[in-house]
């Protein structure tokens, strides 16, 4: 079966996304209404700070937060959250984003000129991940602690601690978020929660704010299906204001991370569509696709296939059904990892997950086919490609 490749004219392969909404694959595919709204927004100029505050109201309503700010992806939101916490208690609090930029000399202190500012972020060692570098980009530095509450308490320094930093996806072996929030608030210190990858379920948009988190980050270009370079920063009004002053179109650490007027409007449109989405119907559609894919391999020698589920971190809740296959190399002549690499190198490139970092019951030696972002007919293309490769490598 042939599928349309809009990149063929450029000499570039298309990708069949059977893994997840990854930034390097372009995030998600937005609803046509998103592009329509973006086109409409392109027809006039606008005061960007006013547009940001307008978008922030929708973010606040969706998350239950006091305020919100659209950002150029989740990593940018982490950086702006860190910058806001560093600038808390400074004269920057006296300025408003809609005033003339008389505060520029203050925001330019970050990330290098931080003398006298609180720049330490307490983080548990299991929470460290590739994305937390964004905190350091804002001028922060990490103070690592272990997984004991006493150590978490002892790390706080009145003169140095800017915030506690918590990543939900890394938290399986960490002190729970509710404990982190309690300890932080006992010290009158904010908590930043990186929940970029915690959708679905949709209820998580409000979950962390309701727990008491002061700033929460979500990706806007993944399951919300906004433009790839969109994200959410939600939380306390005073901290969101400081983050906004560090954002573009001003000249703080977020200046380089621009969102066009079209991107902001497109993101808000996508968020509103996401809030109306039928999650149950979506789940059933994914489950049916996963079952069909798995059943295609049930009778093939040397192959174990089945259904597994991505689950939430803090609750044993199934949110995404996926199909998987495990290969017996002695029979198939190929390992799952080798199969995954061959699929990626093909045309179209088929991106699957091998031993993925999903919350699966047991991901060892599994090649996972995630149905979430498969377009019409692509499940059949994947099946045919895998069967062809297995036939060619069969001993």
pLDDT tens for 224-282 read: 999 999 999 999 999 999 999 999 999 999 999 999 999 999 999 999 999 999 999 99
End position of a domain, from candidates 242, 276, 310 = 276
Q: Is residue 2 part of a domain?
A: no
Q: Where does the pLDDT of residue 339 fall: very low under 50, low under 70, confident under 90, or very high at 90 and above?
A: very high
Q: Is residue 21 part of a domain?
A: yes
Q: What pLDDT does residue 276 have?
A: 96
Q: What pLDDT does residue 361 have?
A: 57
User: In 145-167, which positions are buried (b, 16+ CB within 10 angstroms) versus exposed (e)?
Assistant: beeeeeebeebbeeeebbbbbbb
End position of a domain, from candidates 232, 249, 276 = 276
Query: Could you tell me if 17 and 52 lie in one domain?
Result: no
pLDDT tens for 170-186 read: 666 789 999 999 999 99
Q: Taking residues 368-392, what's their average pLDDT?
A: 94
Which residue reads 């506690």 in tokens? 164
Q: Is residue 39 part of a domain?
A: yes
Query: What is the DSSP code string of 11-44?
Result: T---EEE-S---GGGTS----HHHHHHHHHHTTS
What domain range is 343 assigned to? 8-26+278-393
Taking alpha carbons only, the member of 280, 359, 251, 366 closest to residue 312 is 359
Please, what is the average pLDDT of the chain? 93
Query: Could you tell me if 118 and 223 lie in one domain?
Result: yes
* Structural element, H or E, at residue 275: helix 261-276
End position of a domain, from candidates 251, 276, 301 = 276
Number of Cα atoms under 13 Å in the Cβ half of residue 284: 4
Query: Could you tell me if 266 and 318 lie in one domain?
Result: no
Query: Could you tell me if 141 and 163 lie in one domain?
Result: yes
Question: Is residue 10 predicted with pLDDT exceeding 80?
Answer: yes
Query: Could you tell me if 240 and 315 lie in one domain?
Result: no
Q: Is residue 125 part of a domain?
A: yes
Q: Taking residues 323-336, what's their average pLDDT?
A: 92
Domain count of the fold of the chain? 2
Q: Cα separation of 199 and 72, whole Å?
A: 18
Question: Is residue 313 predicted with pLDDT exceeding 60?
Answer: no
Query: Two tokens at 222?
Result: 């993944």
For the ranges 34-48, 93-107, 166-180, 308-322, the lowest mean pLDDT is seen at 308-322
Query: Could you tell me if 264 and 367 lie in one domain?
Result: no
Q: Is residue 262 part of a domain?
A: yes
Query: Could you tell me if 16 and 100 lie in one domain?
Result: no
pTM: predicted TM-score of the whole model, two decimal places: 0.94
Q: What pLDDT does residue 106 have?
A: 93
Q: Is residue 108 part of a domain?
A: yes
Q: Cα separation of 231 and 243, whole Å?
A: 13
Query: Two tokens at 57?
Result: 């109201």
**∠354-223-379 over CA atoms, to 5°?**
50
Coil, strand, or helix at residue 84?
A: helix
Query: Could you tell me if 124 and 203 lie in one domain?
Result: yes
CB 76 within 8 A of CB 257: yes
CATH number, domain of 386, equals 3.90.1150.180
Query: Could you tell me if 67 and 195 lie in one domain?
Result: yes
Query: Could you tell me if 88 and 17 lie in one domain?
Result: no
Radius of gyration of the chain (CA): 23
Query: Could you tell me if 107 and 182 lie in one domain?
Result: yes
Q: Cα separation of 64 and 80, whole Å?
A: 20
Query: Could you tell me if 332 and 270 lie in one domain?
Result: no
Q: Cα separation of 214 and 231, whole Å?
A: 17
Coil, strand, or helix at residue 324?
A: strand
Q: What pLDDT does residue 314 have?
A: 53
Q: Is the dihedral of CA 293, 298, 304, 307 positive or negative?
A: positive
Output the furthest CA–CA distance in the chain (Å, rounded): 73
Taking CA atoms, 196 is separated from 111, 166, 189, 192, 337, in Å, by 23, 11, 22, 12, 27
CATH number, domain of 199, equals 3.40.640.10
Query: Two tokens at 362?
Result: 């047991």
Q: By percentage, how much of the chain surpasses pLDDT 70?
A: 94
Q: Is residue 76 part of a domain?
A: yes
Which residues is 167 bridged to in the sheet? 194
Q: Is residue 47 part of a domain?
A: yes
């Amino acid at each position: 079966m042939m599928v349309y490749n809009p990149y063929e004219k450029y000499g570039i392969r298309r990708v069949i996304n059977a893994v997840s909404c990854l930034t390097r694959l372009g995030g998600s595919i937005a609803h046509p209404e998103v592009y329509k709204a973006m086109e409409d927004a392109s027809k006039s100029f606008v005061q960007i700070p006013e547009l940001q505050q307008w978008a922030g109201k929708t973010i606040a309503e969706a998350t239950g937060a006091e305020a919100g700010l659209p950002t150029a992806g989740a990593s940018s939101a982490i950086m702006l959250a860190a910058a806001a916490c560093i600038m808390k208690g400074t004269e920057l609090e006296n300025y408003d984003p809609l005033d003339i930029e008389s505060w520029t000399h203050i925001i330019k202190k970050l990330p290098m000129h931080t003398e006298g500012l609180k720049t330490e972020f307490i983080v548990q060692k299991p929470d460290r991940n590739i994305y937390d570098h964004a905190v350091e980009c804002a001028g922060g530095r990490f103070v690592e602690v272990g997984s004991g509450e006493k150590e978490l308490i002892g790390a706080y320094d009145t003169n140095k601690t800017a915030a506690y930093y918590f990543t939900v996806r890394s938290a399986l072996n960490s002190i729970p978020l509710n404990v982190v929030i309690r300890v932080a608030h006992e010290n009158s210190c904010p908590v930043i929660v990186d929940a970029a990858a915690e959708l679905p379920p949709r209820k998580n948009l409000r979950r962390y704010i309701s727990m008491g988190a002061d700033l929460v980050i979500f990706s806007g270009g993944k399951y919300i299906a906004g433009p790839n370079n969109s994200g959410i920063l939600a939380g306390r009004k005073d901290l969101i204001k400081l983050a906004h002053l560090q954002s573009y179109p001003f000249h703080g650490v977020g200046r380089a991370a621009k969102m066009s007027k079209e991107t902001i409007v497109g993101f808000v449109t996508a968020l509103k569509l996401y809030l109306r989405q039928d999650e149950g119907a979506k789940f059933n559609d994914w489950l049916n696709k996963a079952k069909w894919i798995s059943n295609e391999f049930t009778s093939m020698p040397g192959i174990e296939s089945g259904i597994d589920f991505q689950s939430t971190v803090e609750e044993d809740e199934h949110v995404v059904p996926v199909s998987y296959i495990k290969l017996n190399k002695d029979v198939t002549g190929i390992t799952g990892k080798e199969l995954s690499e061959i699929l990626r190198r093909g045309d179209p490139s088929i991106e699957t997950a091998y031993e993925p970092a999903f919350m699966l019951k047991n991901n060892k030696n599994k090649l996972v086919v995630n149905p979430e972002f498969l377009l019409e007919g692509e499940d059949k293309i994947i099946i045919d490609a895998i069967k062809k490769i297995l036939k060619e490598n069969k001993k």
